[in-house]
Amino acid sequence: MHGRDGECRAIRHLLDGPDGGALLLHGEPGSGRGALLAYARRHAGERAVLAGAGLAAEATLPYAGLQRLLDPVLDRSGSLPDPQRRVLRRALAGGGCPAARRLALATAVLALLAAAARDRPVLCTMDDVDAGDPETAETLAVVARRLHRLPVALLLTAGGAAAADGIPAHRLSPLDEEQCAALLADRRPTPPPAAVAAALAAASCGNPQGLVDLADALTPAQWHGEEPPPAGPPADGALGAAYRARLDRLPADTRRVLLLAALDSDGDPATLARAARTAGLSVEALAPAEAAGLLRAGPAGVTFPSPLARTMIGAVTPLADRRAAHLMLARALDGRPLRRALHRAAATDGPDPALADELEAAAADDADRTDAAAALRRAAELSDDPARTVQRAVAAARCAWTAGHPDEARRLLAGLPADPVAAGHADLLRGELQLRCDAPTTAVATLLAAARAVAPVDRGAALLGLVRAGEAICLTGDHYRYAEVARRAWALRRPGDPPALELLTTFAAGVGATLRGDHDQGGPALRRVVVLGGRLAGPALTPAALLCGAVAGLLVAVDGAAHRLADRAVELARARGDLSVLPRALELRAVAEYWLGRHATAAETAREGLATARATGQRTCARVHLGILAVLAAVRADRATSLARIAEIGDGATPGSRPYAYAQWALGVLDLVDGRHADAAARLASLARTGTARGQVLVQVMATPYLVEAAAHDGGRPTAALAVFDRWASSTASPSRRALSARCHALLAPRGSAEAEREFRTALRLHPTDTDRFERARTELLFGRDLRRARRPRDARAYLHRARETFTLLGATVWAEQAGAELRAAGESVGFSHRPPAQLLTGQQLHIAQLVAEGATNREIASRMSLSTRTIDHHLRNIFHRLGVRSRTELARLFA
């Protein structure tokens, strides 16, 4: 019953209701219709149960299904009026029913069921009502619409909703990945790993019976993820038997054209028509299959209700018939060399080097990476040279990964013959899969070893592997290991290297120097990478090279260039269908948009990155995007959204990793917004361990302005973190980074001092007015607060007004309210917040405010809450500030 809660509730409602009624459950074979009928019978209680099923073998016998359903209660027909008894007995005895008497027959069935329900209520179930005789289906549909005053429940199942007019119906949708995992966990004592469960969910298309068939067919090694699982449900399972039975009910000509349609994944109506003519048939032969709900035909071609239907139709058809159909499709295809070669290959046995070469050549020219992967996989199978077999299998895996199918890529990489160079290229791909999908820690060792293996024959691949190993190092927080990446990449450089190779070696050197704090060496190298990334063209222009340029741009704070390179990588990845790098490109674009102050745009980019990462199985990348979204929501003080994103990250983010650090950053900002300054400072200080190159150094640098603000409130001085930020900011030409540095020093200076004012004014002078509006408004708010607390309210108001106006325009409501509260504290007449106190105060603050509003003194509140009066004073100051009130009287009025 996994994933069928709604249907179970509908069944219980039908059975528990005081009146009668009907319910139709429809869905593809294997969707669980029979299980739901069994559920209904188990929960029938005191109801008498009449059970029937539509049988294809009796589909030509009018009312055969109705006769089997009603047979246990036919002895009650003697109580019916003579006209009803006669029409009922005639129909059930094989005498048929004239069209003019069909309503009379339905009325007679209603009367018989009412007679059967006199002693106790009745449950009637009819499985596969559309598979049996149509007369039974028609009669039961008429009866189902007229049960509301009888103690009779009628539960029908069908493959489609054709008979659902006027009958409440539920379509049984595929199970989602979580529901599939729960179903799999019930099949064996130990559940499969998450990656195996996800692969089986995809292979079964969420079909419960297909999932069960797959699970039951797995070997122990496949169940535990040591070997790849099958690509689809077995043909000899229960689901295969169901499809075989459906096909057997169709005319022979219909089955032949249906097979052509199932094997022609393009769905081109012209191709299908030509192939059908080759077989001496026409597409009109599909009409019975369409009536049976197996497909839908229209001007745009033939479509199947689910991808699994297409797969199972091909799987249960005899091999000889499949091969003949593939050859017909190959002859019918015109101008599609890859598809034609694939169909010829599907009809071929044994090695065929010429066809393998044709497939490889066609794959190189085809833009569809999924088709290219299939062609290269088949080329590997048809090769007679072991070395070519391995090369083509690795190339097929690369295409599958590029198309966004990591499980298919893993299947292709599994069990490759031993070959040092080919194994190195295979491990480069394995490491990339580990990096993006599930095991970035393991990816470091895999990529470093693979880079060493391929370096003698392919320096470009080795350098790209080293760069990705460095990415994995940064993702996991073990930055001290980057020194090895930089050293090995530098050893691979050669005089006169083309720009693409120079970009990779320079990038590794620049990142390595930056991570060890050597900005004098790292800065020029990274700026060179930005320049090279902007100049690439032709074959050298790849998303991977552009991503290096974008990372370099972010590290030297040239945000506009970083955004252009990341955006170009996004567009190039889309144009080439390279889904493997698209989430990473969107991540870097979102980070660049954050630094440019485009928070709403950054959130939109991250949401797209999250959707793409999830669709392509890149779980690690998905957690990174969730972390970015959590930070963006927290910066805008959107607590609910931020916490929801952090909850989605879950336990999959290990301490020290980038997703974990983003989550902690977001929580720290929320602590700061809520006035828990010590908690905020502790969280933000824990993002990295300064001096050890462990933890998320780069994330902590981004979060340092918030760390300083939190620590400064209680007199703390995060000297080490600020020193790292200052060295980085001063090494860049970015006014916005230097403005943030000046703001940090202003916050740490004595309140109201000349030093604080000088640093605040420096920050405001440096903040770009066009791209840094949010951070400029934050500086104005903090400067205005400092001036107000230094008893300079007149000077403070101008800054607070500008901050409030900017926050309001940006939709940053909470920050606008804080600026408004400061203005009121500075003596300005500003309207109160429209948000209720419960949304502005912590739970403890709300309790204290309510007691004050009731007239309690600070001493009385302290006694009731077991706190000191000094603590109550501190909380009350924060309450006044957040609510924008200046007295206990205003507070009481607000709560009233």
Q: Is residue 358 part of a domain?
A: no
Give the side-chain half-sphere CA count within 13 A for 493.
17
Report pLDDT for 831. Answer: 60
Say if residue 828 is in the same domain as residue 697: yes
> How many domains does the chain divide into?
5
Distances (CA, A) of 786 to 333, 397, 705, 765, 862: 76, 60, 16, 17, 30
CA 670, CA 774: separation in Å to the nearest integer? 17
Separation of alpha carbons 447 and 426, rounded Å:
10
863 and 732 assigned to the same domain: no
Mean pLDDT confidence for 762-770: 90
Predicted local distance difference test score (pLDDT) of residue 156: 94
CB 144 within 8 A of CB 164: no
% of the chain beyond a pLDDT of 70: 97
CA torsion through residues 699, 704, 707, 709, sign: negative
- For the cut 90, the answer to whether the pLDDT of residue 623 exceeds it is yes
The CATH number linked to 105 is 3.40.50
Say yes or no: 708 and 806 in one domain: yes
Instruction: Please tell me which residue, 311 or 888, carries the higher pLDDT value.
Output: 311
pLDDT of residue 784: 93
- Report helix, strand or coil for 480: helix
pLDDT in tens, 768-800: 887 788 999 999 999 999 999 888 999 999 999
Residue 757 has pLDDT above 90, yes or no: yes
- The predicted pLDDT at position 830 comes to 67
* For residue 680, pLDDT beyond 60: yes
Beta strands in 649-719 (DSSP E): 688-689, 694-695
Domain-located, residue 702: yes
How far apart (Å, rounded) are the C-alpha atoms in residues 503 and 527?
11
- pLDDT per residue over 139-165, tens digit each? 999 999 999 888 999 999 998 766 567
Give the angle 558-480-624 at the CA atoms, nearest 5°: 55
Q: What is the H or E stretch that residue 50 is in?
A: strand 48-53
In a domain, 345, yes or no: no
Q: How confident is the model at residue 201 (pLDDT cuts 50, 70, 90)?
A: very high
Residue 873 sits in a domain whose CATH number is 1.10.10.10
- Flag whether 16 is in a domain: yes
Confidence of residue 270 (pLDDT cuts 50, 70, 90): confident
Q: What is the DSSP string of 77-131?
A: GGGS-HHHHHHHHHIIIII---GGGHHHHHHHHHHHHHHHTTTS-EEEEEETTTT
The C-alpha atoms of residue 756 and residue 760 are separated, in whole angstroms, by 6
Residue 703: predicted pLDDT: 92
546 lies in which domain range? 481-617
Span 579-608, average pLDDT: 95
- Same domain for 38 and 157, yes or no, is yes
State residue 420's pLDDT score. Answer: 65
Q: Which residue has the tokens 């008429």?
A: 142
Segment 170-192 shows an average pLDDT of: 91
Q: Is 462 among the domain residues?
A: no
- Same-domain status, 691 and 758: yes
The pLDDT-based confidence of 465 (bands split at 50, 70, 90) is very high
- Distance (Å, whole) CA 340 – CA 331: 8
Q: Which of 883, 874, 888 is nearest to 817 (CA)?
A: 883
d(CA 593, CA 586): 10
Question: Does the structure show a pLDDT above 60 at 179?
Answer: yes
Decide if pLDDT at 481 tops 70: yes
Predicted pLDDT at 655: 85
* 69 and 185 co-located in one domain: no
Q: Give me the CATH number covering residue 798.
A: 1.25.40
Q: What's the CATH number where 560 sits?
A: 1.25.40.10
The stretch 320-336 carries a mean pLDDT of 89
Same domain, 715 and 816: yes
pLDDT of residue 417: 62
Instruction: Report the SS3 class of residue 228.
Output: coil
Residue 658, in any domain of the structure:
no
Q: Are residues 187 and 216 in the same domain?
A: yes
Q: What is the mean pLDDT of residues 455-464?
A: 94
User: Are 12 and 158 part of one and the same domain?
Assistant: yes
Residue type, 777: A
Residues 739 and 823 in one domain: yes
Instruction: Tell me the pTM.
Output: 0.78
Assess if residue 252 is contained within a domain.
no
Beta bridge partners of 122: 48, 152
Return left, alpha or beta for 301; rule: phi > 0 is left, psi -120 to 50 is alpha, else beta: left
Q: What pLDDT digit, counting tens, does each position of 819-878 carry?
A: 988 888 888 766 655 566 666 677 788 888 888 888 888 888 888 887 888 888 888 877
Q: Convert 744-783 to b/e letters by CB count within 10 Å (16 or more is b).
A: bbbbbbeeeeeebbebbebbbebbbeebbbbbbbbbbbbb
Where is the domain boundary, 587, 617, 647? 617
Same-domain pairing of 62 and 125: yes
The 8-class DSSP code of residue 827 comes to: T
- Asked, for residue 758, whether it belongs to a domain, the answer is yes
- Whether the pLDDT of residue 52 is over 80: the answer is yes
3-state secondary structure of 183: helix
Residues 712 and 797 occupy one common structural domain? yes
> Is residue 251 scored above 80 in pLDDT?
yes
- Please say which residue of 156, 171, 186 terminates a domain: 171
* Range list of H helices, 492-598: 499-515, 519-535, 543-555, 559-576, 582-595
End position of a domain, from candidates 835, 854, 885: 835
pLDDT of residue 644: 94
| Mean pLDDT of the chain, nearest integer | 89
Quote the pLDDT of residue 777: 93
Span 355-379, pLDDT tens digits: 999 999 988 887 788 889 999 999 9
